[in-house]
Amino acid sequence: MNEDCDSPLPPPAAARSDSTAGSDVQCAAPPRAAPAGDGEELIEATGLTKRFGERLILDGVSLRVRSGETVALIGPSGGGKSTLLRCLNGLHGWEQGSVRVGPYRLESTGNVRPNGQAAQQVRRLLGMVFQDFQLFPHLTVLANICEAPRRVLGLSRQEAEERAWTLLDRVGMKERATAYPDVLSGGQKQRVAIARALAMQPRGLLCDEITSALDPELKHEVLEVVQDLRRDGMALVVVTHEMGFARRAADRVVVLADGRLIEDGPPQQVFEQPASPRTRQFLSRVLA
């Protein structure tokens, strides 16, 4: 199927004629006519089951995230956190279950990466930031941020640069606009990576251990930028090993272990009165 959904957003230029071959994602009728606004559910994953080969990685995971909500996704290494994030924005396929982001619904029947227009719209609505920044090394900071808005959204150079300067100001990187990534510190690179994701004006941001490669002071500056995004009403899903951040900054903490979502609640409840013995075991190790 892979047709554009009844969308409130214009289709991106990049979505116009990309092959849908290999795509196993379907765009079903949007469950609500209006785009998700403040406090409305932006992300809804239902019963996601995913395997890599014979191994069951996600075992019926359901997760809902509202606009304006910060969800910390924590859990033991190998538990499926990164895999879940990649399913949420259609970078991985899955065997069972579905993902809805705003009005776009993705269904997948296997491991093929979703590639239809609905998947492209989902990736626009949900930005992603990675542990290793993934900046383009041959482009300046400014050009890194302008690249996707120009290429995918069709912005003029001037429009893209105006947007980029505003975002660089926001993440405190205006002075380094002409620098190349290799001369930046890790924290600076990560702030540029966040600005680059925001340049697509997503409604949500998926952050996968974005401070893991940074020393404590730089972690702090990046996490401050993330916290600041809450005032935009964005939906944030933050995979983190920073328990202090999860406790302090998240509205909800979700624990994923062995492919199952075993805990979902306010930070105080999850950290002080976890329902699952597995959560208790995990927390006792990471907080020791």
Ligand X SMILES: Nc1ncnc2c1ncn2[C@@H]1O[C@H](COP(=O)(O)OP(=O)(O)OP(=O)(O)O)[C@@H](O)[C@H]1O
| Footprint on this chain of ligand X (rule: CB under 6 A) | 52, 57, 77-83
Provide the Cα torsion 63, 65, 69, 71; round to 10°.
20
Shortest Cβ distance from residue 78 to ligand X (Å)? 4
The reply on whether position 83 binds Mg ion by CB under 5 A is no
From the number of C-beta atoms within 10 Å of its C-beta (0-12, 13-18, 19+), residue 152 rates as: middle
The single residue listed with the structure tokens 């997503």 is: 202
Indicate which of ligand X, Mg ion, none lies near residue 124 (CB less than 5 to 8 Å, by partner kind).
Answer: none
Indicate which of ligand X, Mg ion, none lies near residue 188 (CB less than 5 to 8 Å, by partner kind).
Answer: none
List the beta bridge partners of residue 98: 46, 107
Indicate which of Mg ion, ligand X, none lies near residue 202 (CB less than 5 to 8 Å, by partner kind).
Answer: none
Indicate which of ligand X, Mg ion, none lies near residue 163 (CB less than 5 to 8 Å, by partner kind).
Answer: none
Indicate which of ligand X, Mg ion, none lies near residue 77 (CB less than 5 to 8 Å, by partner kind).
Answer: ligand X
Minimum CB distance to ligand X smaller for 54 or for 182: 54
Shortest Cβ distance from residue 132 to ligand X (Å)? 12
Q: Are 34 and 58 in contact (CB under 8 A)?
A: no
Contacts of 224-229 spanning 24+ positions with Cβ under 8 A = 225/170, 225/171, 225/172, 225/191, 225/194, 226/194, 227/70, 228/170, 229/198, 229/205
Please choose, out of 40-48, 79-87, 111-119, 267-275, the segment that lies near Mg ion by the rule CB under 5 A.
Answer: 79-87
CA nearest 189: which of 244, 241, 239, 129? 129
Indicate which of ligand X, Mg ion, none lies near residue 57 (CB less than 5 to 8 Å, by partner kind).
Answer: ligand X
Please choose, out of 74-82, 168-176, 246-254, 266-274, the segment that lies near Mg ion by the rule CB under 5 A.
Answer: 74-82
Phi, psi of 126 (to 5 degrees): -120, 105
Minimum CB distance to ligand X smaller for 144 or for 240: 240
Q: How far apart are CA 135 and CA 196, in angstroms?
A: 9
2's tokens = 């892979």
Q: How far apart are CA 56 and CA 49, in angstroms?
A: 8
Shortest Cβ distance from residue 245 to ligand X (Å)? 15
Q: Of 23, 82, 115, 120, which lies in the binding site for Mg ion, with binding defined by CB under 5 A?
A: 82
The single residue listed with the structure tokens 């290494």 is: 77
Shortest Cβ distance from residue 151 to ligand X (Å)? 26
How many CB atoms lie under 10 A from the CB of residue 201?
Answer: 14
Minimum CB distance to ligand X smaller for 160 or for 257: 257
Shortest Cβ distance from residue 14 to Mg ion (Å)? 27
Shortest Cβ distance from residue 143 to ligand X (Å)? 30
- Give the interface with Mg ion as residue ranges (CB under 5 A): 81-82
